[in-house]
């Protein structure tokens, strides 16, 4: 009898230990997914990533044509020994855009301008506060293969990022850029000088899913009667985390123009599809 009870007790203990281990593993995975959801949407993250986003715009103000913008982006942390700040990132962005041939008619697809910024995360305030601030230069290269696909200008300017992670499961951030032209590629250019503001908010809801608003960029022109556009977006994303695999993130969001002024041609409604792969353990220079 005692042996039987001892056997039952041993099985019960084994089940309890196994259940506890599974619970701990699930809790750790949930915490990792919540953190990675933030990293995928953090404009100051130094986690190496490859990012793709397609923005399909079925309705535009001023034209009947449907447009599209495919963005490919890499996030490259800088090697610490040649960086000014302990955390510094380089982010080049390449674009393939579908633009109208002329108002109300067909479209054509062209390569767009290349953008690049180099942001360093300041060591203050302390990271224990949950607030991160980054500053650095922004460059725009006039690589567009059509005047309608780019801004026809060499540009350089300041970039600023701020992120707050002090509340578990939540992220609030903003990326502010102001490219300033210093040379144009065409005598028929249109003068540009626009402040770009990307507000970001994220809430992790569990099981790898999160809600976010962060795919819209507000543009405010500095010149008289230049365009001002303020779209809003809302979407859902999912983080896939598997052992010995790169981390995968996918999201979809809707976007609509909430306010515009002096912008006769502008997106009215858009749908964003995004996919990114992160390599959080990739640190060959460590």
| 205 token code pair | 């809801």
- 24: pLDDT confidence band, cut at 50, 70 and 90? very low
Share above pLDDT 90 across residues of the chain, in percent, rounded to a whole number: 69
pTM of the model: 0.88
Query: Which neighbouring-strand residues pair with 199?
Result: 174
What are the DSSP E strand ranges found in the chain? Answer: 49-61, 67-77, 87-100, 107-111, 114-121, 131-141, 153-164, 170-177, 180-184, 194-206, 209-213, 218-221, 228-240, 247-261, 266-278
- Tens-place pLDDT, residues 240-267: 998 888 999 999 999 999 999 999 999 9
What superfamily in CATH does domain 2-278 come from? Answer: monomeric porin ompg (2.40.160.40)
pLDDT of residue 25: 44
For 14, residues 6+ apart whose C-beta sits below 8 A from its C-beta are none
> Of 145, 140, 41, 137, whose CA–CA distance to 93 is shortest?
140
Residue ranges covered by each domain of the chain:
2-278
> Of 155, 200, 154, 196, whose CA–CA distance to 177 is shortest?
196
The answer on pLDDT for 20 being more than 50 is no
Weakest-pLDDT range from 119-133, 230-244, 266-280: 119-133
pLDDT of residue 286: 57
Distance CA 248, CA 30 (A): 15
- Tens-place pLDDT, residues 162-211: 999 999 999 999 999 999 999 999 877 778 899 999 999 999 999 999 99
Mean pLDDT of the region 31-60 = 94
């Amino acid at each position: 009898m005692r042996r039987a009870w001892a056997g039952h007790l041993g099985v019960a203990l084994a089940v309890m230990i196994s259940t506890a281990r599974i619970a701990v593993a699930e809790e750790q995975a949930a915490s990792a997914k919540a953190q990675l959801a933030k990293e995928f949407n953090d404009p100051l993250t130094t986690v190496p990533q490859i990012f793709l986003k397609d923005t399909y715009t079925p309705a535009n103000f001023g034209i009947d044509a449907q447009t599209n913008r495919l963005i490919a982006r890499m996030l490259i942390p800088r090697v610490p020994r040649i960086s000014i700040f302990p955390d510094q990132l380089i982010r080049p962005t390449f674009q393939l855009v579908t633009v109208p041939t002329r108002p109300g008619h067909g479209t054509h697809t062209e390569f767009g301008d290349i953008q690049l910024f180099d942001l360093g995360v300041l060591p203050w305030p302390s990271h224990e506060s949950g607030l991160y601030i980054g500053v650095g230069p922004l460059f725009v290269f006039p690589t567009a293969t059509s005047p309608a696909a780019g801004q026809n200008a060499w540009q350089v300017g300041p970039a600023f990022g701020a992120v707050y992670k002090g509340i578990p499961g939540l992220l609030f951030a903003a990326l502010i850029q102001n490219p300033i032209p210093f040379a144009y590629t065409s005598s028929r250019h249109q003068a540009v000088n626009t402040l770009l503001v990307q507000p970001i908010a994220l809430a992790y809801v569990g099981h790898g899913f999160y809600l976010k608003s962060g795919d819209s960029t507000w543009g405010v022109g500095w010149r008289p009667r230049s365009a001002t556009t303020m779209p809003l977006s809302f979407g859902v994303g999912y983080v896939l985390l598997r052992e010995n695999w790169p981390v995968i993130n996918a999201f979809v969001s809707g976007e609509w123009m909430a306010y515009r002024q002096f912008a006769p041609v502008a997106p009215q409604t858009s749908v964003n599809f995004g996919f990114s792969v992160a390599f959080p353990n990739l640190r060959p220079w460590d």
